[in-house]
Amino acid sequence: MGTFGDAAEPQVRPLDIGGTQFEIYRRIAASSPQSFLFESLSGPETLAETSIIGFDPDETITGYADRLVIEGRDGSSRTVRTDDPVAELRRVLPRAPQGRHRYLGGAVGIVEYEAAGLWEARAPLERDAPLMEFGVYSDGILFDSSEGRPYYFFTGEDRSASIVRAEPARGPFSHSGLRAEPDAAGFERAVEEAREHVRAGDIFQAVLSRRFGFEYGGNPMRVYERLRELNPSPYLYHMKMRNRTIMGASPEMLVRVTGRRVETFPIAGTRPITGDAARDAALGEEMAGDEKEVAEHVMLVDLGRNDIGRVCEPGSVRAEDLMSVRRFSHVQHMVTHVTGTLRGDLDAIDAFGAVFPAGTVTGAPKVRAMEIISSLERARRGGYAGAVGYFASGGSCDFAIAIRSMFLEGGRGYVQAGAGIVYDSVPESELRETEHKAGALLAALREASA
């Protein structure tokens, strides 16, 4: 049984409130200790569908390797000891009938990269650090891009009046002390070591990352405001959590489950959008013909097929629109849509575990690549390369890979970005790739501080 038992179907009605989803959220977040905004502003129509706001969750669930800590909005707290946190998470999540919308309440939050060991026995598992954090929401605001108006949904208490009364917070933001870890020389050495593993046949690819750390003060909502303008994406998110704020502009779905349909969208291969239609078309064709890009993409598609094949009906997995070139806000990517039919004895949490973490942030083979990453990066990744999204009370889920993201806690923040290392990687080029991928977030950081 879920935390709230088996709930009735949520009520949904139009919300009479002015402003964009961001303007409404900014007002709500100013008076809510915890809140989230999930937006879809750019990208393929299959990704950019719905935006969601939630505030003041009924409960917060923090998962560790051996326990769940469940804290209520009323100040209550309990610890559930368990040798299977995933099974316990499944037990405590609320359930409700599936409505016409994928999300009408549920568990919203982040699963950290190091949580891989909860699903994959061969992956290392940390004992003391939190591995996931979810707010459990029974109401919220839904923006359907096809209808262009907000709806309020709720199960139980109707809190819509507090939304209308909310006022936005103002105030400056500042940051200082930006630094990269490892530095350029250290990262290039790590690239060479990863190439040695590829040459030795240990792996086909490893994704190595760098962290750009800084100190900050003031209102970080200004950073998100600039980020969504600079880099509109299919998965934009701002999450104000118990002790930290997470924001991002991820281009990449990890997994989505709707009914029995499972989807993932491997992305590999990137070219800029210049604004010149002929030039952009030529760049897209050049990418689709690049042997290195194609080989990497096919490897990741095969990994995605194998991952969701573990939880899907035999023969149901398909690679649709193989290596299609899709346009996003500032770049074009090679994307493949991998789908399958979830087995009848499994659920969205099983589907999530089958693909987590994404091969696009580890490399392949996945577990061996993760071991090599751990030895070369040394510091834990935390939220970076994990997953941000929700398990809906109706049984669906939708998670983005936590890349192009910023993590803020206690006056310290960081952005992290990676590059896929293969046999013929050039260290200087991979270094530039990490800087390019961090670019929009660091630009938002600078502009919010101006």
- Bridge partners, 337 (sequence order): 320
Sign of CA dihedral 154, 235, 307, 46: positive
Q: Considering 336, 339, 341, 360, which one is annotated as catalytic?
A: 360
Distance of CA 166 to the CA centre of its chain: 28
Per-residue confidence band for 276, with pLDDT thresholds at 50, 70 and 90: confident
Residue 15: is its pLDDT beyond 70? Answer: yes
Q: Which residue has the higher pLDDT, 4 or 429?
A: 429
Residue 166: is its pLDDT beyond 70? Answer: no
Single-letter amino acid, residue 68: L
Q: How far apart are CA 332 and CA 274, in angstroms?
A: 10
Q: How far apart are CA 377 and CA 392, in angstroms?
A: 34
Find all residues with CB under 8 Å of 14, minimum gap 6, and list them: 149, 150, 151, 152
pLDDT tens digits, residue range 172-230? 999 999 999 999 999 999 999 999 999 999 999 999 999 999 999 999 999 999 999 99
Tell me if 140 sits within 8 A of 53, measured CB to CB. yes
Q: What is the pTM of this model?
A: 0.93
Residue 263: is its pLDDT beyond 80? Answer: yes
Known catalytic membership, residue 195: no
Q: Considering 333, 336, 341, 381, which one is annotated as catalytic?
A: 333
Per-residue confidence band for 68, with pLDDT thresholds at 50, 70 and 90: very high
Known catalytic membership, residue 333: yes
Rg, the chain, Cα only: 21
Q: Considering 63, 238, 420, 434, which one is annotated as catalytic?
A: 420
Q: How far apart are CA 113 and CA 129, in angstroms?
A: 12
Q: Where are the alpha helices (DSSP H) in 146-290?
A: 160-165, 184-199, 221-230, 277-288
Q: Could you give phi then psi for residue 430, rounded to 5 degrees? A: -70, -35
Tell me if 3 sits within 8 A of 70, measured CB to CB. yes
Residue 372: is its pLDDT beyond 50? Answer: yes
Q: Rounding to the nearest 10 degrees, give the CA dihedral for residues 313, 315, 321, 324.
A: 90
Known catalytic membership, residue 360: yes
Q: What DSSP string describes 292-356? A: HHHHHHHHHHHHHHHHHHTTB-TT--EEEEEEEEEE-SSEEEEEEEEEEEB-TT--HHHHHHHHP
Say what the pLDDT of residue 46 is.
Answer: 54
Whether residue 168 has a cis bond before it, omega within 30° of 0: no
Q: How far apart are CA 60 and CA 234, in angstroms?
A: 26
Q: How far apart are CA 77 and CA 72, in angstroms?
A: 6
Say what the pLDDT of residue 144 is.
Answer: 79
Q: How far apart are CA 127 and CA 84, in angstroms?
A: 13
CA 61, 62, 66 angle in degrees (round to 5)? 120
Say what the pLDDT of residue 43 is.
Answer: 62
Token pair of 135 as six digits? 């707010």
Known catalytic membership, residue 261: no
Q: Beta 387-392 vs 363-364: how paired, if at all?
A: unpaired
Q: Considering 384, 389, 390, 395, which one is annotated as catalytic?
A: 384
Q: Considering 211, 238, 305, 404, which one is annotated as catalytic?
A: 404
Per-residue confidence band for 324, with pLDDT thresholds at 50, 70 and 90: confident
How many other C-beta atoms can be found within 10 angstroms of the C-beta atom of residue 284?
20
pLDDT tens digits, residue range 395-450? 999 999 999 999 999 999 999 999 999 999 999 999 999 998 999 999 999 999 98
Known catalytic membership, residue 384: yes
How many other C-beta atoms can be found within 10 angstroms of the C-beta atom of residue 86?
17
Which of 189, 310, 205 minimizes the C-alpha distance to 268?
205
Name the architecture of domain 11-260+344-449: 4-Layer Sandwich (3.60)
Single-letter amino acid, residue 99: G
Say what the pLDDT of residue 34 is.
Answer: 96
> In this prediction, what percent of the chain has a pLDDT beyond 90?
70
Give me the count of residues in the chain: 450
Where do the structural domains in the chain lie, given as residue ranges?
Answer: 11-260+344-449
